[in-house]
Amino acid sequence: MGKVALEGMEFYAYHGFYEEEQIIGNNYVIDVFIKTNFGAAAEEDDLYKTINYETVYLICQREMKVKTKLLEAIGMRIMQGLKHQFQNIHEATIKIKKENPMPGVKLDS
């Protein structure tokens, strides 16, 4: 068992509860951590038996293009996309960071 991580994926997107957020947009950072058994992939040196980073990125990119009010909804769609694409996921964690979560307010990480 091991963990595959793709951290620091940056997107500019138009999500948020407030209309202003969906017009102005915001910077987002997504981290994805996936627990999987990659023994067969390692033994056979076979990309198709593990989690492909490019596919993980493309799933996140696709979902970030869909205007959404809640980050939870984006996270759910990303998780569904990952589970649909990769049947060998034992556990996954998605972290979505919105750089300026409230219009006009700058917060530290």
Tokens 């990659």 belong to which residue? 38
Q: How far apart are CA 87 and CA 49, in angstroms?
A: 10
Catalytic residue among 3, 35, 49, 97: 97
Could you give the maximum distance between any two Cα atoms of the chain, in Å? 52
Q: 41 and 50 in contact (C-beta within 8 Å)?
A: yes
Q: How far apart are CA 91 and CA 60, in angstroms?
A: 17
Give the three-state DSSP class for 33: strand
Active site residue 95: no
Catalytic residues, which ones?
97
